[in-house]
Amino acid sequence: MTKSEKPVSVELHHSEGLKFEVNVNGRKLKLNSSDMMEQAFTPMELFLVALAGCTAMDVQWIMDRQRQKLNKFDINISGRRRADDPRYYERIDMHYSLSGSDVRKDAVERAIRLSQEKYCSVRAMIKDAVKLKITYAISTGPQGETRYTYGP
């Protein structure tokens, strides 16, 4: 979706303990282990941000193309880690929440499907390793939202 021909590059510099300073082409970020967070992030948190951000941009872009105007669009994502090493996510729950007076279920389902199956690069890299459970909710007015489960 977002074209960039040159490689994506990142530098990490150790500061102390398990803290690292990250430089992404001049933009800064701090990493730390989960014990002492302050304003730093853990690698596994950033992995969820990458996954959710990837599909969020896809869905926003496809909804725009379908002329489906969104007043509000949120994603909640949470991952449960394995008990044994390597402690990757054995399951990830992702919930899309979309609001707009004319938002149609079929348009949302199509946007999520295109992202999950065709466009989302982070999703593609973990396809065989991680079980993803996807739900979404649509709100078209003050009467509240309707919830759906996404199935491929």
**Can you tell me the distance from the alpha carbon of 12 to that of 69, in angstroms, rounded to the nearest whole number?**
40
Give the one residue of 67, 101, 106, 128 binding its own copies; rule: CB under 8 A. 128
Q: By CB under 8 A, what part of segment 91-120 binds its own copies?
A: 93, 118-120
Part in contact with its own copies (CB under 8 A); list of ranges 22-30, 104-112, 138-146:
22-30
Strands 27-31 and 20-24, how do they pair?
Answer: antiparallel
**Applying CB under 8 A, which part among 67-75, 102-110, 137-145 lies near its own copies?**
67-75
Three-class SS state of 101: coil
Interface positions, 33-62, toward its own copies (CB under 8 A): 33-35, 37, 39-54, 56-57, 60-61
Tokens matching residue 130:
């991680």
* DSSP strand pairing (89-99 vs 131-139): parallel
Q: Which stretch binds its own copies (CB under 8 A): 24-32, 103-111, 139-147?
A: 24-32
Neighbours of 141 (CB within 10 A): 9
